[in-house]
Structure 1
Amino acid sequence: MLAVRSALFNACFMILTPLFSLLVILFRPFGFSASWFWAKLWSNTIFVLLRLLCAIRIKIEGREHLPEHACVVVAKHQSAAETVAMPILVPPYTWILKRELFNIPFFGWALALMGTIGIRRGSPREAIKQVISDGSKKLDEGRWVVIFPEGTRSAVGTAGNYQPGGVILAHKAEVGILPLAHNAGALWPKRGFIKKPGTITFRFLPYIPADEVKSIHRNELLKRLQNDIEAATRELGG
């Protein structure tokens, strides 16, 4: 039965994601907010289906840590679930992702039209320059910036190599950092067909204000973020 439910959910996900992506594309000429409406509705719809078909609920902790102004969100990357959930977790934002994702029909095209920062990972120096330039511009416009410092999804119980892009951007743009931990990989595994019943908990950790970001050495802050995010992830079972 679990396999059947997962198959139904996966089929719905594969149908609805291109459909909502097309709506994001079609409404983009009417402004960012018009497209954002459909992106957020996609997120909510997927999680309603996840609850109905796979008995997976979501819980959001630490909302009190969200600042009133745009910042850099540094998030754990374990699953597709956190990607789907992001529009309902934080205010309107832009992602920093690998540029190859723009090649995905409809979904990738929608990402590009929404101003996602697509970097070429084969050229780290140029990627950092782009993150600073484009990310600072989005932050100045009041758009939050979301980055997965591991660059790719890590298996449950493991940590990828945290990259300093988010820390560098926050320092250069003089904004704060909001860490995000979760256990999504335990229920929606990396490349996993079966979705396991339970609760995905997204936990925002204490906000690190801009003045603190500026006063701490980059490597020290990156290590602190990694330790805090990974510890919270393990505590949640991720």
Structure 2
Amino acid sequence: MNLIRSILHMLWMVLTVIPWATAVLIAAPFISGARLYWMCVGWLDVAVKGGHWILGIRNRVTGFENLPLGQKDPAVLLVKHQSTWETFCMPPLMPHPLAYVFKRELLSVPFFGWAMARLDMIHIDRGRRIESFAKVVQQGRRLLGQGVWVIMFPEGTRIPRGEKGKYRSSGTRLAIECGAPVIPIAVTSAKCWPRKAFVKRPGIVDISIGPAIPSVGRKPDELMREVEAWIEAEMLRLDSEAYPTGQARLSQIKPGAD
């Protein structure tokens, strides 16, 4: 049954993204960036609702009160990355437009990537790290000043359930450069949508939004260790069965150490 559901959801996404992306490409020269963004978010919402109806995946979100309230208040969202699910559901969930930092190769994906190329996002060349980070800071500062939140996955890639990747400090470096707080977010999406798996399972995905952590006066590595400690402790709390040796592993993460 899960295989049939997964096939149907894939067909749902393909059949909806083609006309939606085509409409975005046609509309792009004529509408503002914000309107175009929310037009694209409309398709992401359709994909997520398809996940609800077809796959039986439900989101359970906590911590909305931790998000900045002002229309122009900046934030850098640092999110646990386990599957494609969180990349789809974050924009419809958040009250501010989001700008993803992603590798430019995604822009060549038919329809989906073509539509993304029309949005004001931060796409980078991973082979040119120094130039790429300078671009992230330049564009990030501009976007944050406009009330757009920057979202990054500090582990860099999707991590299997129950595992922890290497947390890289580019997100906290950006936050420090721009004076923006960081918002750590834990996501248990691999319970339903495992990494690189075609067959998905019904269930509840917990999305826990942590308290904002000020970046002013901090060092990137030290701040990232605090983000890492919060996210991984929250993952252990939300999905304890996936972390049989979690307590010993978490004891090795020392937030605040320099």
Alignment map for 1:186-201 (pairs within 5 Å): 186-201=191-206
Distance 2:2 2:206 in 1: 21
Where in structure 1 do 4 or more consecutive aligned residues deviate above 3 Å? none
Q: Deviations over 1:4-56 (max 9, x none)?
A: 11111111122223332333333323112322232222122122211221111
Name the CA distance, whole Å, in 1 between partners of 2:121 and 2:229. Answer: 27
**8 A Cα contact 1:47 1:57, kept in partner:** no
The residue identity in structure 1 corresponding to 2:120 is: G
Q: What's the TM-score, normalizing by structure 1?
A: 0.93
Q: Deviations over 1:201-237 (max 9, x none)?
A: 111011113xxx1222221111111121122123222
Aligned residues: 235
**Structure 1 counterpart of 2:5:** 5
CA–CA distance in 1 between the matches of 2:33 and 2:190?
30
- Report whether the alignment pairs 1:77 with 2:81: yes
> Structure 1 CA distance, aligned partners of 2:156 and 2:234?
19
* Percent of aligned pairs with the same amino acid: 32
- Whether contact under 8 Å (1:170, 1:176) holds in the other structure is yes
1:98 Cα deviation from its structure 2 partner: 0.9
Which residue identity lines up with residue 236 of structure 2 in the other structure?
R
CA distance in 2 between counterparts of 1:40 and 1:106 reads 14
1:227 to 213, 220, 229: 229
CA positional deviation for 1:137: 1.1
Instruction: Provide the aligned C-alpha RMSD in A.
Output: 1.5
In 2, distance between residues paired with 1:13 and 1:57?
17
Q: Give CA-to-partner distance per residue, 1:65-97, whole Å, 9 cap, x none.
A: 010212111111110000110211221121100
TM-score (norm 2): 0.86
Matched AA of 1:15: L
**Structure 1: unaligned runs, 5 residues or longer:** none
